[in-house]
Amino acid sequence: MLPEQGDIGRKISAEEEWLLLRECSNSRSRGLFPFVTLAIETGARKNVIRTRQWKWINLANACIQFGKDKTPSRTDPIIPLNRRALETLKLWAQRFSDREPEHCFSG
């Protein structure tokens, strides 16, 4: 078994979060801001968000369903979206008026 690394996994400060989201919003990558916002607000892993299809995002009920994860319970959790995540997803959805339920969220 590998030794644990004590220098990883720390929580970022509110200031670091603000700076990160500011830089994401200034990025040439259009999807970076909503992607990082969703990661911060839900705690979802990169590949879970990257492969999330619109059919699993329920804007009307302010929730998102994730598929089976690497957690011990292996459930399909439904995560409520807070205001920031919901508003970010609504704005992102407006960019894709022709999106289909099977299209990936990340564009």
pLDDT at 32: 95
- Domain residue ranges of the chain, discontinuous segments joined by +: 29-94
**Using one digit for the tens of pLDDT, what is the confidence trace for 17-68?**
999 999 999 999 999 999 999 999 998 888 888 888 999 999 999 999 987 6
Average predicted confidence (pLDDT) for the chain: 87
Query: Could you tell me if 48 and 69 are in contact, meaning their C-beta atoms sit under 8 angstroms apart?
Result: yes
Q: Which is higher by pLDDT, 3 or 17?
A: 17
Which structure tokens are listed for 7?
A: 């220098």
What is the b/e burial string over 45-75, where b = at least 16 CB atoms within 10 angstroms of the residue's CB? eeebbeebbbebbeeeebbbebeeeeeeeee
Report pTM.
0.80
Which structure tokens are listed for 20?
A: 């990160």
pLDDT for residue 82 is more than 90:
yes
Which residue type, as a one-letter code, is found at position 71?
T
Residues above pLDDT 90, as percent of the chain: 61
